[in-house]
A and B are shown apart, each in its own frame.
Chain A
Amino acid sequence: MPAPLLQVEGLRILAVGHEADGRPPLLDDFSFDVAPGEFVAIVGESGSGKTITARAILNLLPPGVKRAAGSIRLDGRDLMTLSPDQMRKVRGGDVGMVFQEPMVSLNPALTIRCQLAEGLKLHRKLSSVEIHRRCLQMLTRVQIADPERCLASYPHEFSGGMRQRIMLASVLLPKPKLLIADEPTTALDTLSQREVLELIVELARDDGVAVLLITHDLGLVAQYARRVVVLEKGRLVESGETQQILCHPAHAYTQRLVNSLPHRPDVRAAINANAPVVLSVARASVDYPGRPGLLRAGPPKRVVKNVDLQVREGEIVALVGASGSGKTTLGRAVLGLKPLSGGAIRFDGVDLGAMSPRQSIDFRRAAQLVFQDPFSSLDPRTRIGDTVGATLRHVSGLGRAERRARVEAVLDEVGLAGFAERFPHQMSGGQRQRVAIARAIISRPRLVVADEPVSALDMTIQLQVLTLFQKLQSQYGFACLFITHDLAVVAQVADWVVVMSEGTVVESGMTDAILDDPQHEYTKALLSATPSFSALALTA
């Protein structure tokens, strides 16, 4: 084995005041190394200390957090002993970093040219002609069409995936020895995620750059990393060859992580074709108003085009698509939150647009929504009990005491007994999402629209919430429109799949049929881009 490029030993990181309060350090006795040109992944859930590790390597710890023990060596040089000036040369020059959020990691006020050239100017002495040449070359390598125009453009002109590629280009330009990628694709949809990661792998291999990938997604690890380091609450759990760790996890925590990957049931309950249709969408279209002009608005943009779908009682229909495919908009339209500009949506046979006031009050209670982001879907100033009980306000003849009892009962069902008096900020993401589910089911709805209900959660929490959701669904038998971009989740929960791309339905069918024998090109691309380690398991 060659001498390691990055060697972290006995790293211990403390937050001010944590020890006094008896809380554990952010990182404790953490050691790992990365060989030149190697692809290593650090896996862990939020709060496990992965990002703190990355920041410690670059000596960019947030205020109030400090390194208490341990060493970090790059090429044999102890990074702790470097002066601030020397450290600046390491950052960007020897170690590059790609961040999670491509929307905010590029400066919106500067052209791409400025931001690409910045690193080169700082770390390599080159003529401006040479810098320009290298920038163009790098943009070509990250597969940006028309690199010349890209250089003169501003970040807002690009999509998330494109920005992440530009970010990658700017980080790799000064030819670092180590690339730290902190959840580089978490904010991207499946297809862009694959493109960006493949690029990282390809460029790193060509230039001999070692990659330290920080992620919570075991599927990505299985697909791309050669070695993996598993972190739990600041402590090293296990490390070694990816295949070994993922197929034969030795530690209980790793086993739990691996088991929490969504899995396909071997046998799926047959669909009851005679069940009444709860929701039927017929040739529905939704327009967004155009950009407001000086005198009148621009032409409207059609984001959902002639969509047909049906959801029967007791059935989970997954609506799958990349970001911008119109799936969320359709989900809102189904609940009557967005007006249709064509077609019809019927709920229990009644057209949403032609409901009497009495019927629309009943509809409000019978059709519920679970949101993606558990942090913005709960009013920060409303107690959990009131949030959950909000729908019951419109149930006539329900006393205060009865309402309380119903709230207590439903909180108990989602495993949050006794949380009624809390505020949202006193709860974790998983708990908040349970609140969102409780709020949706308390009125015994006929239909629940779940908009990416687990994509903002950690792996193990994701499994818990998903299992809970499935249990409640089979218990109450509501029809469910499950919006997601994650095919692995679809495989676990859905009875029927509808694939959307650019506002239209490209394919729909039974879950197993779609997964095993996709017909449309887009579905195929989506399937092959979904990271999984079934392939890895086979070769093991």
Chain B
Amino acid sequence: MTGPAIHRLPLNAILGTALVGLLVAAILIGLFWMPYGPIAIDLDHPLAPPSWAHWFGTDQFGRDVLSRAMLGARISTSIALGTVVVAISTGTCVGLITGFLRGWTDRLLMAASDAILAFPGILLALALIAVLGSSRSSIILALSIAYLPSVARVVRSAVLSIREREYIEASRVAGDGTIYIVLRHVLPNALPPVVVLATSLFGWVVLAESALSFLGVGVPPPAPSWGNMLSDARPYMEAANWLSIVPGFCIMGTVLGVNLLGDALRDWLDPRGET
């Protein structure tokens, strides 16, 4: 069905690209130049409101909020990206194996993932970080383990329906082995929900990392992440509201942008949408 042109305009793609583009630009520029040193303390100007000198103001130690938000973007995004890559790749593998092979492997792995799902994600991550110690890689590991089961579940349910399709049987009749069938026919058809999941997972991880940093077990100071910026801002909520508004908007914009882009990506990836 062809709708009027307005319906075909991918608004989500445009807005999503714009927001994610902004994020990427902030990270890239931050690699070469920042208005001030993000951890440079300037005790002459603590809690300065936004001005031409400090666009987003300064915090209680006089550090430039814009610079900190730019570095925070780099740190938060790298953690989110790392977690998404680890959780999606291992989760997809687990989902493919359990969904396609069924039997005891399926029951064992799914029982394990149910056990993980029984913990609230943040609580599990907290416990893991308590064991592993607080560093960026342990945050990535902890969050990956917390989110892996939901990825595995989504992939597994897609695989369960795909494995009963006749083209799988046709591939078997052609003489293809299990690994080839899984990689050639099952995986590509199971991917669209994974792509969407990956983008919303990115959003969750940004939030979860912020929450962990807010609780003081995330990115260790003085390195800024949006989460520990928010955490630092808490005592000054009334006196210096820009301290919470800036990282808050950063988190919101990133999560929204990535989710919108994910929807657009799914529409675009589907070959049936071409005609």
Contact = CB atoms under 8 A, between A and B. Distances in A.
Do A and B come together as binding partners? yes
A371 B170 contact: yes
A64 B175 contact: no
A176 B221 CA distance: 77
Interface residues of B, number: 23
B271 interface: yes
B169 A337 contact: yes
B167 A364 contact: no
A369 B174 CA distance: 9
Nearest to B185: A379
Interface in A363-421: 364-365, 367-369, 371, 373, 376-382, 387, 390-391, 393-394
A315 B172 CA distance: 25
A365 B172 CA distance: 10
A425 B176 CA distance: 23
B3 interface: yes
Contact of B175 (A361, A376, A436): A361
B166 A382 contact: no
A377 B171 CA distance: 10
Which among A16, A64, A380 has the greatest number of chain B C-beta atoms within 10 A? A380
Query: How many interface residues does chain A have, given as a range?
Result: 20 to 34
Interface string B157-182: 00000000111011111111000000
A382 B174 contact: no
Nearest to A443: B174
A426 interface: yes
A379 B188 CA distance: 10
B51 interface: no
Contact of B166 (A361, A368, A377, A423): A377
A439 B170 contact: yes
6 contacts: A16-B3, A371-B169, A382-B167, A390-B174, A393-B175, A426-B275
B1 interface: yes
Contact of A380 (B171, B175, B271): B271
Nearest to A365: B175
A335 interface: yes
Contact of B173 (A364, A381, A423): A364
Q: Which of A367, A371, A390 is the most central at the interface, judged by chain B CB atoms within 10 Å of its CB?
A: A390
A364 B166 contact: no
A365 B173 CA distance: 8
Contacts of B166: 371, 373, 376-377
Given A16-B3, A425-B271, A426-B275, A379 B173 contact: no
Given A17-B2, A378-B170, A381-B189, 14 more contacts: A16-B1, A17-B4, A365-B175, A367-B173, A373-B166, A377-B166, A379-B171, A380-B272, A382-B184, A390-B171, A391-B173, A425-B271, A425-B272, A439-B170
A379 B163 CA distance: 11
Contacts of B1: 15-17, 64
Nearest to A363: B175
B46 to A, nearest CB: 58
B173 A376 contact: no
Nearest to A63: B1
Contacts of B272: 380, 423, 425
Which 7 pairs show the lowest CB-CB distances between chains A and B?
Answer: A364-B175, A377-B166, A391-B174, A379-B167, A17-B2, A390-B174, A394-B175
Nearest to A361: B175
Interface of B: 1-4, 165-167, 169-176, 184-185, 188-189, 271-272, 274-275
A21 interface: yes
A16 B188 CA distance: 34
Nearest to B168: A379
Contacts of A394: 174-176
Contacts of A367: 173
Interface in A315-371: 332, 335, 337, 361, 364-365, 367-369, 371
A377 B2 CA distance: 27
Contact of B271 (A377, A391, A423): A423
A393 B174 contact: yes
Contacts of A369: 169-170, 173
B189 A391 contact: no
Contacts of A361: 175
A361 B174 CA distance: 9
B170 A382 contact: no
A87 to B, nearest CB: 24
A503 B64 CA distance: 80
With most chain A CB atoms within 10 A of its CB, the pick from B169, B170, B271, B272 is B170
A17 B274 CA distance: 17
Contacts of A365: 175
A391 B175 contact: yes
Nearest to B4: A17
A519 B188 CA distance: 51
A337 B171 CA distance: 11
B275 A425 contact: yes
A15 B172 CA distance: 42
Interface string A409-447: 000000000000001011000000000100100000000
B275 A377 contact: no
Nearest to B167: A379
A387 B188 CA distance: 14
A381 B188 contact: yes
Contacts of B271: 380-381, 423, 425
